[in-house]
Chain A
Amino acid sequence: MIPARFDYVAPTSVADALSALAEAGDDAKVMAGGQSLLPILRMRLNAPETVVDLGRIEELRGVRDEGDHVVIGAMTTYADVLASDLVRQHAGVLTDAIEEVADPQIRHRGTVGGALVHADPAGDVGAPVLALDAELVVTGPGGERTVPAAEFFRDLFETAVGEGELLTAIRIPKHTGWGSRYEKFVRVAHQWSIVAVAATVRVEGGAIAEARIGLTNMGSTPLRATAVEQALVGKAATEDAVREACAAAAEGTNPPSDLNGDADYRKHLATVLTRRAVLAAAGA
């Protein structure tokens, strides 16, 4: 299938991209890696008049060390994040999750920024970014603002990035020495998450000192399992203690029912996967 006709611009700086967007007005669409956008255009679910391709903006690519933060440029591909020791060391649960995204070909093109703005509730990047308390840097005609991950995801396919704005970077506070695990439940290879759980845990003297848990596909946005996070503090990193704390994983969630499973099944999965993810992250 072939997309409808569009005009194409490929700016080489953020400033030029913002002016291109302003000039093109309502009917412009930003393209990052194109791995979600191009299928949408091919199926003609959307037919923008102008596509603004961010692919030639070097300043948006790469991973930087900024003191107590790791900063990922929005146009950094999944493959480049996987190759980054900085991310693996200080934000390991993001690495774990990206290993489970799609397939190698799509990971060579797809970007972390594109995945976050696309905001598919079954997408694998939202939950770890939420669990890591990241901040999203959004740049518009009026300058730059920083949005906490907890306020970034608004609804299905909807984020805090407004029209005429770009997501430019993801700032992640370093979680150095934290264990991590992304538990993704699928029935066949190469599938979107039916449910997945991102867990990152700091263990001190055999007990869980801090835990952060993000849930994938348990509602219209990625969610934090805050009840479980609180229940885990001070618990021994043992099967029984963790099982009890994780029983609350589905509290406050509103998962979809579809051919892969109904909402109750997903709630059950969430508790099981949370337990597995926390135990693995705690090295138990």
Chain B
Amino acid sequence: MTRINVTVDGVGYEDEVEPRTLLVHYLRETLGKTGTVVGCDTSNCGACTVHLDGRSVKSCNVLAVQADGHEVTTIEGLAQDGELHPMQRAFHDCHALQCGYCTPGMIMQAIDVLNDNPHPSEEQIRVGLEGNLCRCTGYHNIVKAVQQAADEGSTAGASAGATAGGAQ
């Protein structure tokens, strides 16, 4: 077992983990943060996307021990004081989900896209979401939601955890 110190959604945790524990399993099973889901075996689908020190990663392809000393933000850390994050609200407004399975990862990656580029073109949004698969929506409304969040400007990309840099 290896001792790790990780900040997840603003709260510090200290745990003993087996080195082989994947970050996504640590989040779901040790911390009970089941908002982050697993959608594949191959690190293709993106459903498990979280932010590690403010940049998006596939948490099924990171070991919990690699996150030792770092900060993780999950879908559960976005809403503040009961207020949805602007990207969550935009997904809701634009009907950007059907079954919702891809949504946690899609929203985390969409925020990363805006952190990188606050005013992306439609093409840049689609390319930025390349590693996130959705079997239901056909992506159209997802792209619209990201555009809406981008148009709202200011906070859309900013507040995924304390360390997320980018859009002002």
Q: Which residues does chain A contribute within 8 Å of B19, judged by CB atoms? A: 5-8, 51
Whether a CB of chain A sits under 8 angstroms from the CB of B20 is: yes
Q: Which residues does chain A contribute within 8 Å of B57, judged by CB atoms? A: 105, 108-109
* A105, B46: Cβ atoms closer than 8 Å: yes
Q: Which residues does chain A contribute within 8 Å of B30, judged by CB atoms? A: none
Whether a CB of chain A sits under 8 angstroms from the CB of B56 is: yes
Whole-angstrom distance between the Cβ of B99 and the nearest chain A Cβ:
21
Q: Which residues does chain B contribute within 8 Å of A121, judged by CB atoms? A: none
Q: Which residues does chain A contribute within 8 Å of B18, judged by CB atoms? A: 5
Q: Which of B15-29 contact A (CB under 8 A)?
A: 18-22, 25
Interface residues as binary, A5-41 with B (CB distance below 8 Å gives 1, 0 otherwise)? 1111010000000000000000000000011001101
Interface majority SS (helix, strand, loop, mixed), chain B:
mixed
CA A43 to CA B42, docked complex, whole Å: 9
CA A190 to CA B62, docked complex, whole Å: 19
CA A6 to CA B68, docked complex, whole Å: 17
Residue from A4, A5, A41, A190 having most chain B Cβ neighbours under 10 A: A190
Supplied contacts A2-B22, A105-B58, A108-B56, 9 more A-B pairs, CB within 8 Å: A6-B20, A34-B62, A35-B43, A43-B41, A104-B112, A104-B128, A105-B131, A108-B55, A108-B57
The 10 closest A-B pairs by CB, nearest first: A103-B131, A8-B19, A3-B20, A108-B55, A103-B130, A105-B58, A190-B130, A105-B56, A38-B61, A105-B131
* A106, B112: Cβ atoms closer than 8 Å: no
Q: Which residues does chain B contribute within 8 Å of A103, judged by CB atoms? A: 46, 130-132
**Nearest A residue to B25, CB-CB:** A2
CA A4 to CA B61, docked complex, whole Å: 15
CA A67 to CA B157, docked complex, whole Å: 38
Chain A interface: which size bin? 20 to 34
CA A108 to CA B51, docked complex, whole Å: 10
Whether a CB of chain A sits under 8 angstroms from the CB of B73 is: no
Whether a CB of chain B sits under 8 angstroms from the CB of A259 is: no
CA A43 to CA B61, docked complex, whole Å: 12
Q: Which residues does chain A contribute within 8 Å of B55, judged by CB atoms? A: 79, 108
Partner pick for B61 among A7, A55, A79, A109, CB 8 A cutoff: A109
Residue from A1, A5, A38, A55 having most chain B Cβ neighbours under 10 A: A38
* 12 A-B pairs whose Cβ atoms sit less than 8 Å apart in the complex: A6-B19, A34-B63, A38-B22, A38-B43, A39-B43, A102-B131, A103-B131, A104-B112, A105-B56, A105-B109, A189-B130, A190-B44
Interface on B for A, CB 8 Å cutoff? 2, 18-22, 25, 41-44, 46, 49, 52, 55-58, 61-63, 65-66, 68, 109, 112-113, 116, 128, 130-132
Whole-angstrom distance between the Cβ of A47 and the nearest chain B Cβ:
10
Q: Which residues does chain A contribute within 8 Å of B62, judged by CB atoms? A: 34, 38, 109
Q: Which residues does chain B contribute within 8 Å of A35, judged by CB atoms? A: 43, 61
**Nearest B residue to A39, CB-CB:** B43
* B20, A2: Cβ atoms closer than 8 Å: yes
Q: Which residues does chain B contribute within 8 Å of A108, judged by CB atoms? A: 52, 55-57
Q: Which residues does chain B contribute within 8 Å of A133, judged by CB atoms? A: none
Q: Which residues does chain B contribute within 8 Å of A158, judged by CB atoms? A: none
Whether a CB of chain B sits under 8 angstroms from the CB of A145 is: no
Q: Which residues does chain B contribute within 8 Å of A79, judged by CB atoms? A: 55
CA A43 to CA B55, docked complex, whole Å: 26
Q: Which of A70-121 contact B (CB under 8 A)?
A: 79, 102-106, 108-109
Whether a CB of chain B sits under 8 angstroms from the CB of A210 is: no
CA A8 to CA B20, docked complex, whole Å: 9
Q: Which residues does chain A contribute within 8 Å of B116, judged by CB atoms? A: 104
